[in-house]
Structure 1
Amino acid sequence: MTLLRGKAGAVTVGLIGFLFFVEFVSGILQGFYVPLIPDLVKYLGIRDADFNIFEGAQLLLSALVVPILAKLGDMYGHKKILLVATVLTAGATWWLAFAGDFTSFLIAWTLQAFYVVWLPLEIALIFDKGRRSGRAASDTRKAAGLLIVGLEAGAIAGALGGSAVFEAFGGPEHLAASVVPTLMVPAIAVSLVFFVILFGVPESESLPGRTLDWIGFSILTIGLLLITSGLTFLKFNDDQWWPWAIMIAGMATFWPFVRFELRQKDPAIDIRVFAQPNMWPVQLTAFLVGISLLGAQAPLSTYAGTDRALGYGLGLTSGTISILIGLYLISMIVGALLFPLVSRWRTPRFALIAAAFLVSIGYLSFIPFHLETWQVFMNMAIAGLGSGALVGAMPAAAAAAAPRGQTGIASALTNTTKTIGGSFASSVFAIVLTIGAVQVAGSTAGSLFGYYLVWAICGVGALIAAVLLFFVPRLAFADDATVEDAEEVRA
């Protein structure tokens, strides 16, 4: 049975099933630790704020390594690099289970970032597998939607399973004895991923004679390192000028990077490809959507938990907030499943634009409608539909727009730009909410004006992304057969 019956090189249901499991485990990694954070803080003897260092370090490493690993996948085969990334992730996850101090936990948590490259490599592998059929683009959209379903389902299972497993091993009452076996569960899951990939996933076709542009990647790494570290420092030094200077220096490195890459025969990033109208709007959309997708979740959670005595907020308990987040993830699943259907009904470009508008409508709706729980649920559901569609659509669209041998790096860079957008938003939102903080009953809550700014930035960013996508050619990301039929009709 295949997604394309009777076509040579079709993407099989078996392949999608194996990769679905990989993304399900990726979701477990993203959701499993969240309910355990308060207990992990006590276990390590650190402050709540210190856990932000773990998150920042992991985002930083993912931004640095994902483009390089994706390029290596284009050169030597996406399955090989997928296995390498899985081995590194499994090693870090096992280390994390036995890390009992801040430093070792930080290193292990940071090295776990290698799992971030799984999805771009899977998209590239699926696109390569379907290329011979002439319907690689539509196959990849369908597959990407299913992979996002696996990712979000894994996140829900991880969030629910993390606390359940922890309680089963003794919970907070037996903290020292329960943490290690609890953290071994995701390590076992990642170890299984290695064998699933090894025996269930075929290799993609590599192009001979490729070289790795070490100088180009070194310049790119320096630029990304300066930008992401500057954003991290900004969270803790918002009244200082030097984090901004670090970010400006990072952005300045892209000028020599572009000039150098234009002279290379096999560049780290083909600037001419990324300047095409079917590529640059997608990469900018990833950045702009990353603002809400990665940066707005913490402010939404704090708003939902804010005491109504302030005149705003929902005053929800942590359990109800978890339900709110769960419904948001379910709406993302629905959005991921709808995207290929809308693409087939109209065009992939239309579906991308509609998804970006949904994100914009969802967040801008918070400005007039935020005082009732049902209003917040409705807004998050609308934004979730668009976000779910875009999470899988952006790497799939980038792969469809890239020439052969560059699908991995094109898909991966949507993740890198999304991460930078999320890091930027996280830092800016922390400053915005801190500036407007008010003191209530010994605790701080961001002012309503601060939340207005957060919602406005998210909504306007998605709106700009929707407008930019109008610059994409109408039949971009469509199958070769569809483009040929349209050209015949036009002739």
Structure 2
Amino acid sequence: MTDSPAPATAPTAGVTARSVVGFLIFCELASGFVQGYYPPLLGAIADHLQVSDADITWFLTVQSLSAAVCVPLLAKLGDVFGHRRMLRIAVVCVLVGVLVTAFLPNYPIMLIARLLIGPLAVWLPLEVALVHNRIKGETARTSIGLLVSCLTGGAILGTISAGIVSSLVDSLVVVLLVPALFVIVSVYAVFFKVPESTDRTRVKIDIVGFVGLGVAMVVLLIGLRLAASDGFGIATILTLVVALVIFALWVLWELRVSSPAIDVRLVVSRRVGPIYLTAFLFGMVMFGTQSPITTFLAADPAETGYGFAASPGTASAVIAVITILATVGAAVFAPIARRIGIRTVLIVGASLAAAGQLFQIALHTQLTEIFIAAAISGIGMGLLLGALPALLAELAPHDQTGIATGVYNSLRTLGGAAAGAVFALVLASFTSAGELASSIGGYISIWAISAAAFIVCIIAISTLRIPTSDDHLAVPATVES
């Protein structure tokens, strides 16, 4: 099939694109704001609660583990009972979690509050399903691109705001109440301004499947966290083995039941499998390289022979270049796809992201070169960020858009966690006995792995069978294995 642009199909009667997308855009801005706001404040929160640096890392980890369970479950329930209904549940959970966190109760209660913020990760999959249910074609692609760009833009705004507000306000409680303002507006939008989706999938809820998937994801993420922090010792290996055994049993169960929690055959099909593979590899690089970038920049060249002894501000500036240009790329992919086709946009995005990593392998002795590599990678990853979920929503069965996008989000997160463990092992393998810093070979290896990951993405995207403008809306309920 040819890679033609999506047609400009009119929205569902009586529903305008503005009514569907306008308030959802603010919801994603709020989602990004919440995600970006807390990390700069972790030191102050740890001091207030009088917990160690190791303990406070669970502030973010608990949220990630909660998201691993919530995303596939709420996304699937959205396909069954309505995406707006599940989005309402998710925004209320996040609001309660944000408010409890702000008042800084004792450490265990705060961790419970962080569990309630986990459903934040399912906002985007549910919103993509709402958009694709109500809007088609070029307008849907543009809308999804705006949602993704607002998510990344909100994260930048949250990070900047945390620094500004904390410097102006003495009360940490007041500082932590700021995200609640954004979430409250999101609650209003979802309850009073966003229409419900109309498509429903008529299936039984696979309780065993969801419980098995949740347990497997949590155990796997704990194992990957142990690998990144403690290496591949006995505890790490046993945890990962248990996770893989649970996953294997879960797959066997899903293949046998008539209404699986996740359609494994769809996930590995030729129709959407390449998108999921790209999502995993993309997540590896996008999330897994953030820590190596920081440590490389902070390294003292007089001691290690590389690095720039850069301050946290300089490291933040490099990451900001990637994030800002990714925001731009996600926002503009749709009009570019209209001219050259969405497959070409994805290939260009993956090629730019690979080029950024290769550029960094060749040139990394000047800070200017690092910024150039960041800019190239950022715009490429932005095109992927916007185009991948938009295309997935078009290719997935119309009554499975929520769970299809939810799996996409989960795979990106899983890819980042896996890369964190692998990249930590790579750096450790290039660290001499008695030394704290890796040799430059460790970072070059990471950049090479990242470039190879994007090259695999290019190959995977090239195999996609994208429908023509005449039949891309009529997605069958069954797919090729």
**Normalized against structure 2, the TM-score is what?**
0.90
> Which of the numbers 468, 472, 483 marks the counterpart of 2:464?
472
- Is this contact kept in 2: 1:308–1:314, CA < 8 A? yes
Quote the sequence identity (%). 34
- Is this contact kept in 2: 1:15–1:201, CA < 8 A? yes
Q: Write the distance in 2 (CA, Å) between the matches of 1:369 and 1:220.
A: 43
1:24-103 aligned at under 5 Å gives the runs 24-103=29-108
Q: Write the distance in 2 (CA, Å) between the matches of 1:6 and 1:428.
A: 46
- Is this contact kept in 1: 2:201–2:399, CA < 8 A? no
> Which of the numbers 439, 451, 456 marks the counterpart of 2:448?
456
> Which of the numbers 266, 283, 286 marks the counterpart of 1:273?
266
CA drift at 1:183: 0.2
- Is this contact kept in 2: 1:71–1:268, CA < 8 A? yes
Q: Write the distance in 2 (CA, Å) between the matches of 1:27 and 1:483.
A: 30
CA drift at 1:439: 9.7
- Is this contact kept in 2: 1:332–1:387, CA < 8 A? yes
Q: 1:371 to 1:40 in 2, by over 3 A?
A: farther
CA drift at 1:30: 1.6
Aligned position for 1:133: none
> Which of the numbers 386, 393, 396 marks the counterpart of 1:399?
393
Q: Write the distance in 1 (CA, Å) between the matches of 2:270 and 2:41.
A: 44
Does residue 366 of the first structure (1) align with residue 378 of the second (2)? Answer: no
> Which of the numbers 215, 222, 234 marks the counterpart of 2:215?
222
Aligned position for 1:196: 189
- Is this contact kept in 1: 2:71–2:406, CA < 8 A? yes
Q: Write the distance in 2 (CA, Å) between the matches of 1:4 and 1:464.
A: 32
1:91-170 aligned at under 5 Å gives the runs 91-130=96-135, 136-170=136-170
Q: Write the distance in 2 (CA, Å) between the matches of 1:281 and 1:11.
A: 32
Alpha-carbon deviations, 1:84-134, whole Å to 9, x = none? 00011111111111124432333322331110000010001101112xxxx
- Is this contact kept in 2: 1:363–1:379, CA < 8 A? yes
Aligned position for 2:300: 307
Q: Write the distance in 1 (CA, Å) between the matches of 2:127 and 2:183.
A: 16
> Which of the numbers 190, 202, 205 marks the counterpart of 1:212?
205
CA drift at 1:82: 0.4
Q: Write the distance in 2 (CA, Å) between the matches of 1:99 and 1:203.
A: 35
Aligned position for 1:421: 415
Secondary structure of the residue that 1:253 maps to in structure 2? Answer: helix
CA drift at 1:153: 1.9
Aligned position for 1:292: 285
Q: Write the distance in 2 (CA, Å) between the matches of 1:42 and 1:235.
A: 25
The AA in structure 1 aligned to 2:292 is: P
Q: Write the distance in 1 (CA, Å) between the matches of 2:19 and 2:455.
A: 38
Secondary structure of the residue that 2:456 maps to in structure 1? Answer: helix
CA drift at 1:6: 5.8
Q: 1:482 to 1:237 in 2, by over 3 A?
A: closer
RMSD, aligned CA: 2.4
- Is this contact kept in 2: 1:361–1:382, CA < 8 A? yes
> Which of the numbers 11, 18, 25 marks the counterpart of 1:20?
25
CA drift at 1:196: 1.2
1:312-461 aligned at under 5 Å gives the runs 312-437=306-431, 444-461=436-453
CA drift at 1:81: 0.4
Secondary structure of the residue that 1:378 maps to in structure 2? Answer: helix
Alpha-carbon deviations, 1:363-408, whole Å to 9, x = none? 2222111111111111111111121122232222222111121000
Alpha-carbon deviations, 1:173-201, whole Å to 9, x = none? xxxxx211100110222122100111111
Q: Write the distance in 2 (CA, Å) between the matches of 1:86 and 1:326.
A: 27
CA drift at 1:4: 5.6
Q: 1:483 to 1:341 in 2, by over 3 A?
A: same
The AA in structure 1 aligned to 2:356 is: G
Q: Write the distance in 1 (CA, Å) between the matches of 2:470 and 2:101.
A: 46
Secondary structure of the residue that 2:55 maps to in structure 1? Answer: helix
Q: Write the distance in 2 (CA, Å) between the matches of 1:88 and 1:304.
A: 38
Deviates more, 1:35-44 or 1:198-207: 35-44
Q: 1:452 to 1:435 in 2, by over 3 A?
A: same
Aligned length: 466
Q: Write the distance in 2 (CA, Å) between the matches of 1:349 and 1:32.
A: 34
Secondary structure of the residue that 1:262 maps to in structure 2? Answer: helix
Secondary structure of the residue that 1:405 maps to in structure 2? Answer: helix
Secondary structure of the residue that 2:361 maps to in structure 1? Answer: coil
User: Which structure is richer in relative contact order (CA contacts within 8 A, separation 6 or more)?
Assistant: 2
Does residue 235 of the first structure (1) align with residue 235 of the second (2)? Answer: no
